[in-house]
Amino acid sequence: MTASRFWVGVEFMPASVMQIAASHPRPIFCGQLADAAATRSALSSRLDQAEWHDLALASPIGQGYLLDLLRQRGPIEHILLALPAISCATAEPAGDAPRPLDKVLSEARHAIEGFMAVLRGAEAALDGSSGAGLTLLRVDPAEHSSPMARALGVFADEWIAMETERWATKGLSLAQLTVESVDQ
């Protein structure tokens, strides 16, 4: 049986990453598919064996659905994760008015919760004997991004740096992939 590869947060992934995903024999794409409709239709002819799952990591239901998929679709070769506030360079709105605090806090909470849920679920579902792993997709920090996105990026950097060695002792890989921009 061919091992599965998961692409989580497809709505935040660059088209170049999705084209690479299309070459895998058993890709599983997860995310808010309405936001990835253009990418999905552009790749549809190349993805005969693909599974598409509509889920929102910002909700406990979406997190549970993803964790269930990870458990059911083994063996898993690798997981590529993209989260909006961590993986994407987001500019602050033009003008002097900052975004409402409740919106900023909600986005930060969802990014951290999604990140932590996927990391813990992946750690439980991945098989260390096969060298499986997880990669967090990151946009080049030189890209213009909000202070919150930069802070969440630093959080993710530190978390991964602290967890990489522990994952390695289990035979798992944990890494980051930096792309120059989200070229969707």
Domain boundaries, the chain: 4-179
* Distant-in-sequence, close-in-space partners of 123: CB < 8 Å, separation ≥ 6: 167, 170, 172
Residue 42: alpha-carbon gap to chain centroid: 20
Query: How far is it, in rounded angstroms, from Cα 166 to Cα 152?
Result: 22
Taking the model in full, what pTM does it have? Answer: 0.84
Structure tokens at 133: 């792993």
Specify the fold of 4-179.
Answer: Rossmann fold (3.40.50)
Strand order in the sheet with 51-54: 51-54, 27-31, 4-8, 76-81, 133-139, 173-179
Query: How far is it, in rounded angstroms, from Cα 94 to Cα 158?
Result: 30
Q: Long-range contacts: 65-68, Cβ < 8 Å, 24+?
A: 66/8, 66/30, 66/117, 66/118, 66/121, 67/117, 67/121, 67/125
pLDDT at 23: 83
* Other beta carbons within 10 Å of 71: 12
pLDDT at 46: 65
139 close to 90: Cβ distance less than 8 angstroms: no
Beta-carbon-side half-sphere exposure of residue 125 (alpha carbons within 13 Å): 26
What does each of the 184 residues of the chain score in pLDDT, given as a tens digit?
A: 667 899 998 888 887 888 888 888 888 999 888 887 777 777 766 666 788 899 988 889 999 999 999 999 989 999 999 877 665 544 455 445 677 888 888 888 888 888 999 999 999 999 999 989 999 988 766 555 677 878 888 898 899 999 999 999 999 999 998 876 555 4
pLDDT at 108: 85
pLDDT at 138: 81
pLDDT at 91: 45
